[in-house]
Amino acid sequence: MNPSMNRRSMLKAAGAAPLTGLVNQARGQSDGRIKQSVCRWCYDKMSLDDLCKNAVRMGLKGIDLLNHPDWPTVQKYGLVPSMTPGTVSIPVGFNRKENHEKLIRETRENIERASAAKAPNVIVMSGNRRGMPDEEAKENCAIGLRQLTPMAEDKGVTLCLELLNSKVDHKDYQCDHTAWGVDVMKRINSPRMKLLYDIYHMQIMEGDIIRTIRENIQYIGHFHTGGVPGRHELDDTQELNWRTVAKAIADLNYQGYMAHEFIPTRDPMQSLEEAVKLCTV
């Protein structure tokens, strides 16, 4: 024992030990190779502060799908607004030229805000088909989004075109297969234009998740999770082996976020913590 350590300093050190242990425990849960986050809307009955406190405890790194007024709350806990939606409308997207002026103006505002707040990603949408041929829609998306990528590159923000299923949740949505989205990415050819690969949606539409991710990882900027069927917990009621999926993603040296976007049917925080542990690889 250091002879200069008096009784008061010994008690102070002993009292700090439990807190240090809790902090280290939280850090230990985040030692996996994938940065995990969580989507706000799945826990909208909980205050944002409480969600952030639980996220920190579990070792999460960010909160997805928050508009800019909520970003300071997330950031005060050391978390990142990991995917920002802005004024997104799923049915109204870049597949129609008549939407471009409004969407480009709104997305530029979102890029500016995200850059100032060091928020890494902004969502964009293809929009619904409504009879639009795929080739025309892909070219229209590329024309519109190419007008945004120079700003995104300059500001260090990644635009993420979201893949959604058109079979169950978002009828008629056009960017509903990985190949569709990848074709748009190739036409734009920007390091700041990627896909938001939602595993739940793509399992419904096409399956073959791991091979598809491996073959297209260079075009993927963000992941969402959610169990199939039902978009519930990542547990043994679901089709996918989530630890294997997470390991496959980590093995590709993926540097982005994987955000949990499932609707819990049990205790919400217990379900989220189980998902985080499952995907810590």
Per residue in 113-171, pLDDT (tens digit) is: 999 999 999 999 999 999 999 999 999 999 999 999 999 999 999 999 999 999 999 99
pLDDT of residue 23: 40
Given a cut of 50, whether residue 14 has pLDDT beyond it is: no
pLDDT of residue 25: 45
Which residues, 6+ apart, have CB-to-CB distance to 119 below 8 Å? Answer: 71, 80, 81, 82, 84, 113, 157
pLDDT of residue 10: 35
Structure tokens, 5: 């350590």
β partners of residue 159: 122, 193
Amino acid identity for residue 132 in this structure = M
Per residue in 178-197, pLDDT (tens digit) is: 999 999 999 999 999 999 99
Given a cut of 90, whether residue 4 has pLDDT beyond it is: no
From the centroid of its chain, how far is CA 122? Answer: 10
Q: Report, as an integer, the average pLDDT of 249-260.
A: 98
pLDDT band at 5 (very low <50, low <70, confident <90, very high): very low
β partners of residue 260: 38, 225
pLDDT band at 30 (very low <50, low <70, confident <90, very high): low
| Range list of β-strands (E), 48-154 | 62-64, 80-83, 121-124
Q: Report, as an integer, the average pLDDT of 258-269.
A: 97
pLDDT of residue 255: 96
More confident residue, 24 or 110: 110
In the chain, where the domains are located:
32-278
Q: How far, CA to CA in Å, does 145 sit from each of 66, 176, 211, 225, 273?
A: 22, 18, 27, 25, 36
CA angle 29, 35, 37 (to 5 degrees): 90
Mean pLDDT taken over the chain: 91
d(CA 218, CA 76): 32
Given a cut of 50, whether residue 15 has pLDDT beyond it is: no
- Lowest-pLDDT range of 6-15, 159-168, 171-180, 271-280: 6-15
More confident residue, 237 or 28: 237
CATH topology of domain 32-278: TIM Barrel (3.20.20)
More confident residue, 216 or 2: 216
Given a cut of 70, whether residue 11 has pLDDT beyond it is: no
